[in-house]
Amino acid sequence: MLLEDLINGLLFGATYSLVAIGFTLIFGVIHRLNIAHGATIMVSAYAGAAVSILLGGKSYGALLAAFVASVTTGATLGILIERVAFRPLKDAGYLAPFATTAGITIILEELFLKLSRVVPIFHPEYTPFPSPLEDLSFHAGPIYLRGVYVVIFIVAIALMAALGFWVDRTRSGRAMRTVEQNPLVARLMGIDVGRVELTAFAVASGLAGAAGCLIGVSVGTVGPFMGTNLLMISFVVIVLGGLGSIRGAMVGGLVVGVVESMTVSLLSARYKQAVLFGLLFLVLVIRPEGLLARRAVVRD
């Protein structure tokens, strides 16, 4: 039973990794938190659900179209958020984008609350996200697995691998890492910093879109406030893994998934957040730079 909890925690944790990677990618590049990341997940999930509903929802073709719609919506929204909430505030204080993206979150949540009442294919509280994966489950020996979690895990790992390849091996990925380390030096080297930032937003928000679709499929519904909780969890994930560390976010998401799963199994769902934040507290005390971040070198 514990093995089943461990495996299910790992599988579902991959979604947290996907959410957190986008969150930390933006932080790594512009050193600001994008609070609208959760709302991006929500809007993308709605886009995927709408496409799935309109295409009948039970075929793999519809699911693929929904996934593409979610990723595209996420990336587009990310670009808009960068243009509206970050770029005009480049020289403003550290907390300014925090406020603007929090405002965008509220606007998007309330907009979708209203839309869910007037768009005929949506429902007032929760809108279904039909998919052929929802009822899929199987046993691997004594272990019960939900098919959708396995798919989420595979897709999330594939996306993370693609992201890793892009960051490490491509010219634009290396440009992004240069901007991450020192925007001034990057500019002096002829890198278009603004373009790199925009690309980071598009990629990070595209990943948020993918996460939105996968979460919507696993739950079977989407709702206007689904992003809020995910944002909080991804904040824990990126602090655990190390702010700005993509690998840290990958591992952190899996750790959080397992911790949640084990807590529910061994204690109760009501202690989930207490255990999670207790763990966060411990990490901040023992290794404040996060589990996988490089320790800062202090020179004399």
Partner 1 sequence: MTHPSLPPSSNPSRRHVLLAAAFGVYAMCASGAQAFQDEGTVRIGSVESLTGVSSPYGIQAINGMKLAIDDINAAGGVTVGGKKVRLQLTPGPDGYDTGADSALTIALLKKQILDDKVLAVVGPTSSQSTEVGFNYLNQLVKEGNPIVLLSPASGGPNLGGISPWGFRNMFFEAQIIDRELALVSKEFGYKKAAVFTVTDNAFTASMAKFVIRPGLEKHGLTVVAEGDSLSRDTDFSRQVQALQRAEPDVVFVSAPVQATVGIMKEAARRGFKPKIWLGTVGSIAPEMPQLGGTAVEGLVIGSSYLPSSEHVKGLTAAYQKRTSSEINLFGVNGYEAAYLLKAGIEAAGIENRPETLTEDRRKLRDALTKVEIKSVTGEQIKFDAKGDTVKQGYLLTVRDGQYVEWNRKPFR
Residue ranges in contact with partner 1 by CB under 8 A: 1, 4-5, 8, 12, 110, 113, 117-118, 123-126, 128, 134-135, 137, 144, 146, 215, 218-221, 223, 225-226, 228-229, 261, 264-265, 268-270, 272-273
Residue closer to partner 1, measured from CB, 161 or 267? 267
Residue closer to partner 1, measured from CB, 172 or 265? 265
Residue closer to partner 1, measured from CB, 193 or 219? 219
Q: How far apart are CA 59 and CA 134, in angstroms?
A: 11
Query: Least distance from C-beta 61 to partner 1, angstroms?
Result: 21
Pairing assessment for the beta strands 127-128 and 137-140 based on DSSP bridges: unpaired
Residue closer to partner 1, measured from CB, 12 or 67? 12
Query: Least distance from C-beta 264 to partner 1, angstroms?
Result: 5
- Burial (Cβ within 10 Å: 0-12, 13-18, ≥19) of residue 178: middle
CB atoms within 10 A of CB 255: 24
Query: Least distance from C-beta 73 to partner 1, angstroms?
Result: 20
Query: Least distance from C-beta 77 to partner 1, angstroms?
Result: 21
Using DSSP's 3-state secondary structure scheme, residue 140 falls into: strand
Q: How far apart are CA 94 and CA 24, in angstroms?
A: 16
Q: Are 59 and 130 in contact (CB under 8 A)?
A: no
**Phi and psi at residue 102, in whole multiples of 5°?**
-65, -40
Query: Least distance from C-beta 12 to partner 1, angstroms?
Result: 6
